[in-house]
């Protein structure tokens, strides 16, 4: 991500992250607020609140600091709004941190425990089908009990928490009803 004057915001954010990495959360917040004041930008909201995280998320999303984030930090930063988004965020984290391309129910459960979120195992299949069929976050036909984040799902999670950026993503097309039947039969 480039700024208006051509500076690489991801690289800058990465450098700032490295400088602040060893500090306690309270000290890190003080430093960030002080730097904002030096630039003449006052932060009315505390750095830790969701609105400010959302604003900072646009800058930080390409920085690489999320590669080292805990499940809880990753989940908080991405700020998913529904079950499908939650499953997609979990899958992306597991992909990036465990090097897995296909994920099983236990991998999801582990993520949610680490992220300190509730995991509804009883309704997992229903929620996954919705995330797969309605939202297009997961590919079909991977294997029984295996789940793989689709290309769209990866793009979607990587764009979070930028809700405006999500609108620019090209959603996968779904075939439904008679059109899909005719397409499978070879006549349209």
Q: What is the CATH number of the domain that holds 162?
A: 1.10.10
Q: Among 68, 96, 127, where does a domain finish?
A: 68
Residues 83 and 130: beta-carbon distance below 8 Å: yes
Q: What is the pLDDT of residue 41?
A: 63
Q: What is the pLDDT of residue 24?
A: 78
Q: What is the pLDDT of residue 69?
A: 78
Residue 177 in any domain: the answer is no
pTM here is 0.59
How many domains does the chain divide into?
Answer: 2
Residue 103 β-bridge partners: 147
Residue where the block lists tokens 């590919």: 139
Q: What is the pLDDT of residue 111?
A: 95
Residue 79 in any domain: the answer is yes
Same-domain check for residues 60 and 97: no
Same-domain check for residues 23 and 106: no
Q: What is the pLDDT of residue 78?
A: 93
Spatial separation of the C-alpha atoms in residues 103 and 42, rounded to whole Å: 43
Report residues of the chain scoring pLDDT below 70. 1-14, 37-68, 174-188
**Residue 98: phi, psi to the nearest 5?**
-110, -5
Q: What is the pLDDT of residue 29?
A: 77
Q: Among 68, 102, 126, where does a domain finish?
A: 68
Q: For residue 139, is it left (φ>0), alpha (ψ between -120 and 50) or beta? A: beta
* Domain membership of residue 59 as a residue range: 1-68
- In degrees, to the nearest 5, what angle opens at C-alpha 164 toward C-alphas 162 and 166? 75
């Amino acid at each position: 991500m480039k700024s208006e004057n051509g500076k690489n915001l991801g690289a800058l954010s990465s450098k700032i992250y490295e400088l602040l990495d060893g500090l306690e959360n309270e000290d890190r917040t003080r430093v960030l607020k002080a730097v904002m004041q030096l630039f003449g930008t006052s932060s009315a909201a505390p750095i830790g609140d969701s609105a400010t995280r959302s604003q900072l998320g646009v800058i930080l999303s390409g920085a690489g600091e999320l590669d080292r984030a805990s499940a809880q930090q990753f989940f908080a930063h991405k700020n998913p709004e529904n079950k499908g988004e939650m499953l997609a965020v979990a899958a992306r984290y597991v992909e990036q941190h465990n090097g897995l391309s296909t994920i099983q129910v236990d991998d999801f459960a582990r993520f949610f425990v680490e992220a300190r979120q509730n995991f509804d195992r009883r309704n997992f299949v229903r929620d996954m089908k919705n995330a797969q069929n309605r939202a297009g976050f997961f590919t079909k036909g991977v294997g029984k009990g295996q789940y793989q984040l689709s290309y769209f799902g990866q793009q979607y999670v990587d764009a979070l928490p930028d809700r405006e950026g999500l609108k620019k993503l090209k959603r996968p097309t779904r075939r439904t009803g008679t059109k899909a039947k005719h397409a499978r039969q070879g006549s349209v």
